[in-house]
Amino acid sequence: MSHYSLANLVRHGLTGHRGWKPAWRDPAPQAGYDAIIVGGGGHGLASAYYLAKNHGLNNIAVLEKGWLGGGNTGRNTTIVRSNYLLDANAHFYEHGMKLWEGLSRDLNFNVMFSQRGVINLAHSKGQLETFRRRGNAMRLNGIDAELLDRDAVATLVPGMDVSANSRFPVEGGLLQPRGGTARHDAVAWGYARAADRRGVDIIQNCEVTGIRRDQSGVTGVETSRGFIASKRIGLAVAGHSTQLAAMAGLRLPIESHVLQAMVSEPVKPVLDTVVTFGAAHLYVSQSDKGELVMGGDIDGYNSFAQRGNLPVIEHVAACLLALFPQFSRLRILRTWGGIMDMTMDGSPIIGTTPVPGLFLNGGWCYGGFKATPASGWVFAHTMATGQPHALNADLNLNRFHQGRVLDEKGAGPYPWLH
């Protein structure tokens, strides 16, 4: 497998680019592994990569029911940020942000990370004050944050209606300049290729149908391609964490909900940052192809259908037009849905479980994509050592039993409100 470099590009160019090999192998499952990760999305692949790179394990398999990155890794709106209020979330996501900043070089794969900034809009003095508080908390945690007044927002987003006559007049905003977007598929592919080069077996079309355990802990997984033994199993299957955990007899503080996203037809560059509109809930950016990429709230009721419903699409479109009336003639090109693990406190669950040898990485709510590198980093540490990393100690499943929930919004145990 060739290193991706200018020299190799030229070398392969001389032979008409017929010499490139597949970016990862397609191995048959072995009888057993030192560690098995269920779920071949960004989180599972990143976990396998860091298990191999940081912890020296390379007898690892990633089992994927469908194809790589075919779940939520390929269904999100690609936003990367670390603008959190609570310390545990702030430190975890900021570690991720630092990994994002060197990710393309580390993986030798261009994940097209673009630090175009993420702006949260405020529409009242009170909201701006809560942003000031969050911005100060971020800066105390070493994260970049800038409070913007209305003129500064208007300068950064010249196409947006910030006039006093708009439906929700803009009072100001909170900017994280290092936030931005990345190419979601490339993240899965980059981690897959980098993990494969370190010897990780990536096995697609291999559905886990059961988890075997004895008194000492887990012993392996039943799959559509036979039994595979391992005393260390990590679940990275957000959307279906409940179903996989139930195979080991665990009940989780999670409900599955559908979150939709959509893109407009492609247009020339009009928006060079990420705008989030929390008052009515819209986040929008422009992809490199020119499509406006948008999302909003979850549909709001339990769902395992990877498709959503029109009221949310209409709401997102209405929010977009409230901010950018000039987009009224754009057409929606595609909409789709992904199934979210919505947790009871709105924060992810990543760490150990009561079943020895079984580890859980899920509960990502809306926030999974940006967490991919940090999630893989700390999950690999947890699986390798049997103990949570300092960065995910507060994200462990047992926080619900110990009364240490991490509820950023203070919404309470109502997953559809997070």
Partner 1 sequence: MLLIPCPHCGPRAQTEFSYGGDANVARPPAPEDADGGTWVDYLYLRDNAKGGHDELWQHIFGCRRWLRVGRDVVSHEITSCTELAESGA
Interacting residues with partner 1 (CB under 8 A): 240, 242-243, 251-256, 300-305, 309-311, 344, 400-401, 413-416
Residue 214 identity (one-letter amino acid): D
Residue 68 identity (one-letter amino acid): L
Shortest Å, Cβ 240 to partner 1: 8
DSSP 57-68: ---EEEE-SSST
| SS3 category, 308 | coil
Residue 178 identity (one-letter amino acid): R
Give, for 381, the enclosing helix (H) or strand (E).
helix 368-385
Shortest Å, Cβ 347 to partner 1: 13
Owner of token pair 């030798």: 108
Shortest Å, Cβ 211 to partner 1: 17
Shortest Å, Cβ 307 to partner 1: 9
| HSE-up of residue 24 (Cα within 13 Å, Cβ side) | 28
Owner of token pair 């991490």: 406
Shortest Å, Cβ 410 to partner 1: 15
Shortest Å, Cβ 297 to partner 1: 12
Distance CA 74, CA 183 (A): 9
Shortest Å, Cβ 343 to partner 1: 9
| SS3 category, 131 | helix
> Would you give the DSSP letter of residue 4?
-
Question: Which residues share a beta bridge with 341?
Answer: 256
Of the pair 204, 243, the CB lying nearest partner 1 is at: 243
> Would you give the DSSP letter of residue 228?
E
CA-CA distances (angstroms) from residue 30 to 34, 50, 60, 208, 224?
11, 21, 10, 15, 14
> Would you give the DSSP letter of residue 11?
H
Distance CA 167, CA 56 (A): 56
Shortest Å, Cβ 403 to partner 1: 8
Of the pair 175, 298, the CB lying nearest partner 1 is at: 298
Degrees, nearest 5: CA angle 296-85-262: 15
Owner of token pair 């910030």: 162
Of the pair 310, 390, the CB lying nearest partner 1 is at: 310
Distance CA 177, CA 291 (A): 22
Of the pair 365, 383, the CB lying nearest partner 1 is at: 365
Of the pair 45, 397, the CB lying nearest partner 1 is at: 397
Of the pair 286, 343, the CB lying nearest partner 1 is at: 343
Shortest Å, Cβ 300 to partner 1: 5
Residue 54 identity (one-letter amino acid): N
Of the pair 11, 307, the CB lying nearest partner 1 is at: 307
- Contacts within 8 Å (CB) and 24+ apart, 163-167: 166/322, 166/323, 167/322
Shortest Å, Cβ 401 to partner 1: 5
Of the pair 67, 304, the CB lying nearest partner 1 is at: 304
Instruction: Specify the length of the chain in residues.
Output: 418
Distance CA 118, CA 409 (A): 19
Of the pair 97, 258, the CB lying nearest partner 1 is at: 258
Of the pair 79, 235, the CB lying nearest partner 1 is at: 235
Residue 34 identity (one-letter amino acid): D
